[in-house]
Structure 1
Amino acid sequence: MKVHVTDLKPGDRLLADTFNEAGLHVLQQGTELKEEEIHKLMQHGVDYVDIEPAVQQPAIAMIHTQQYELLQKTKPYLEQAVDGFESMYLEALATGRFNEGVVDDIMEPLVDQLKEHKDIVSLMLCIDQNDDYTYIHSMQVGILSYYIASWLGFSKEEAYEAGRAGYLHDIGKCQIPGSLLNKPGKLTFEEFEEMKKHTIYGHDIICSSTPDTIPALVALQHHERDDGSGYPHAIEKNEIHPFSRITAVADVFSAMSMNRVYQSKQELLTVLRELHTMSFGKLSANATQVFIRHMLPNFIGKNVILSTGERGTIVMTNPADFFRPLVNTGDRFVDLSAEHDIGIDQIFL
């Protein structure tokens, strides 16, 4: 059957050799199309091709229903993690320590839920951001640290420990005055120096609460950078614990993608692009790249609002620019890698 290239789907197979208008051979007969091949056809200006359609996958509506049900099942565990961190935060504020048992009571059932999720973008988008930033941020960083460690090949036990440490990384902020945490404008030099102490406060609070030294080290080091430009001790990558480097990636992603008093959230693909830039010297290259590699496929099928005001759906990631995908608005296909004056304002389920 002959179809327009914008209607091609991964798994379709070419029934004939394909040439562009100049007669240049593009793809040979029998090629099973993947995203890269479909984009290649578009780049060469090919309009129609003869294909054998891919074997039909389960109905998209059924997949969406299953995804929705899974997210609804997980939401209570996310809310428990936010409420639990608030409880520990307030306890640490009052006493300088927290109940260690609460952490595992929250993290163990949460991680059991996370094992069922493949689409982490949907999981991030479903999180209600109406609670206090620090509480939600800590929950997100715990989740993302667990996933990154898993994707890097750490054992289940190690990935759990990485997630646990990520969950506790900002507990030291309870010792920072609220006037600094909630200041809408730029911090002065003196104020920023005080803010940086939350890493030291967190280390001390965790050491007072548990004999496990790794979460304390992650709290201390999650703002250190591979090139030595971080804080509090300006150490370089060989001195930074692997879990601290993982949490640093999760921390930056979560912070940039959430609303804060001094910064509006950025859409997720823009954040991933910034992480990619930071992976060259600032953040762990391995942790950052494995995170980006696992996140990008999850954007296909997500709804967007473009800077033009048009609504559409991401239909394909772009091999030439992973962070500027192809969007179907219903009326047209917008290749953001080619139309640089158009961007994505919002991504949603």
Structure 2
Amino acid sequence: MDIQPGDQLEADVFNHFGVLILQKDQELSSSAIVKLMQHGIDYIDIRPHEVNVQVPKAELFPPQVQKMKALFDSAVDSFESLFEDVLIKGTFDNEQVDRTIDPIVNQLAAQKDVVSLLLLLNDNNDNYTYNHSLQVGMLSYYIAIWLGYPQEDAYLAGKAGYLIDIGKCKIPQDILHKPGKLTPEEFEEIKLHTTYGHEIILNSTGDELSALIALQHHEREDGSGYPKGLHGSEIHPFAKIAAVADVYSAMTSNRIYQSKKELLTVLRELNELSFGKLSPEPTQVLINHLIPNFIGKKVLLSSGEIGSIVMTNQSDFFRPLVKADSRFVDLSKMRDIAITEVYL
């Protein structure tokens, strides 16, 4: 009952007496399907349908989001120049950081659709390291605001998030951009970016808070992080915020060794990490504030259908109700279908 005209046979079809009914590779017509039914054929093998859907490119983001693009591009360029300054001089200009962050923070308070901002940032895949730093800074600011910190503290959290990876400029480029799996020795070298960042920030600005966040942003609640294996209460609250922002941005971005993951899938994985690895408070506040932003967003489903999210499911926030062209797809019930991409 599932076959349709146009399906192509994967194998020859024989009836119960061993007589050939239809040949392999044949494209099924309506009369061929009737013939199968007349011979009492219950099952046949058909070739899997190739999904080749061109996802519409969001050429124009909403005006309130689009005006952030110039600020984002400037911030990415600024971080690149910070990297170059540290490579040449060993320090960076703290005032340049504030000049970069101030105009962005002034605009973020009015931006309620944070998912669109993330999609705008993900639309630029030119350089992971610099783009990632901006995302972490932005998300750290938002998480601090959502947790109830005053504006001044949220700014400090965002600035610290923006700077957490400055120590990567001292990691050898062949390790930092290695496409394959790192050796244990190479991973130990990568881990040094936290201590490098701590030193660079202190030497450049004397900002002990930002330096501490850079040092601790890979620490984990259960003590499995680095560089010191700290446990929950030993980790600064802003480092816990930066850790959540860092993991979310990394998982939703294209990297040399890993393709980006779909945004809702990453939120589900963050939720799982909040039981032992990431601090639950900043993780859950991020999830709770981003989930409503997905309503109305267009999605590509693994079935090849394009639709839009119309409602979140209370039983499973990460598998919403999607309105496709010809039907509603309740992903909380239709577990064999998944969202493969979210876009505007």
Give the TM-score of the pair, scaled to structure 2: 0.82
2:259 aligned with 1:259:
no
Aligned to 1:315: 310
CA distance in 2, matches of 1:328, 1:269: 17
Aligned to 1:271: 266
Instruction: Map Cα deviations across residues 279-299 of structure 1 (whole Å, 9 max, x no partner).
Output: 011111000000100000000
Query: What is the correspondence of 1:174-213 to structure 2 with a 5 Å cutoff?
Result: 174-213=169-208
CA distance in 1, matches of 2:91, 2:269: 35
CA distance in 2, matches of 1:326, 1:122: 19
Aligned to 2:282: 287
Structure 1 residue matching 2:334: 3-state secondary structure: coil
Q: 2:69 aligns with which of 67, 75, 100?
A: 75
CA distance in 2, matches of 1:227, 1:220: 17
Instruction: Map Cα deviations across residues 2-36 of structure 1 (whole Å, 9 max, x no partner).
Output: xxxxxxxxxxxxxxxxxxxxxxxxxxxxxxxxxxx
- For 1:105, the aligned partner's letter is R
Question: 2:198·2:214 contact (CA, 8 Å) conserved in 1?
Answer: yes
- For 1:114, the aligned partner's letter is L
CA distance in 2, matches of 1:335, 1:162: 38
Aligned-pair identity in percent equals 60
Q: 1:67 Cα shift?
A: 6.9
Q: 1:69 Cα shift?
A: 0.8
- For 2:174, the aligned partner's letter is S
Structure 1 residue matching 2:68: 3-state secondary structure: helix
Q: Which runs of 4+ in 1 moved over 6 A?
A: none
CA distance in 1, matches of 2:88, 2:190: 19
Question: 2:76·2:131 contact (CA, 8 Å) conserved in 1?
Answer: yes
Aligned to 1:224: 219
Structure 2 residue matching 1:126: 3-state secondary structure: helix
Gaps of 5+ in 2: 1-57
Q: 1:96 Cα shift?
A: 1.3
CA distance in 2, matches of 1:72, 1:253: 22
CA distance in 2, matches of 1:285, 1:93: 36
Instruction: Map Cα deviations across residues 80-135 of structure 1 (whole Å, 9 max, x no partner).
Output: 11011101011111221101111100111110111110010011001232321100
Q: 1:190 Cα shift?
A: 0.4
Q: 1:71 Cα shift?
A: 1.2
Q: 1:226 Cα shift?
A: 0.7
RMSD (Å) for aligned C-alpha atoms: 1.2
Instruction: Map Cα deviations across residues 120-153 of structure 1 (whole Å, 9 max, x no partner).
Output: 0011001232321100000000000000000000
Gaps of 5+ in 1: 1-63
Aligned to 2:132: 137
CA distance in 2, matches of 1:85, 1:226: 29
Q: 1:330 Cα shift?
A: 2.0
CA distance in 1, matches of 2:148, 2:96: 27
Aligned to 1:84: 78
CA distance in 1, matches of 2:152, 2:86: 26
Aligned to 1:55: none
CA distance in 2, matches of 1:334, 1:315: 10
How many residue pairs get matched? 285
Aligned to 1:240: 235
Give the TM-score of the pair, scaled to structure 1: 0.80
Structure 1 residue matching 2:174: 3-state secondary structure: helix
Q: 2:93 aligns with which of 72, 90, 99?
A: 99
Aligned to 1:325: 320
Aligned to 2:329: 334
Instruction: Map Cα deviations across residues 196-242 of structure 1 (whole Å, 9 max, x no partner).
Output: 00000000000100121011001100000011000000011111111
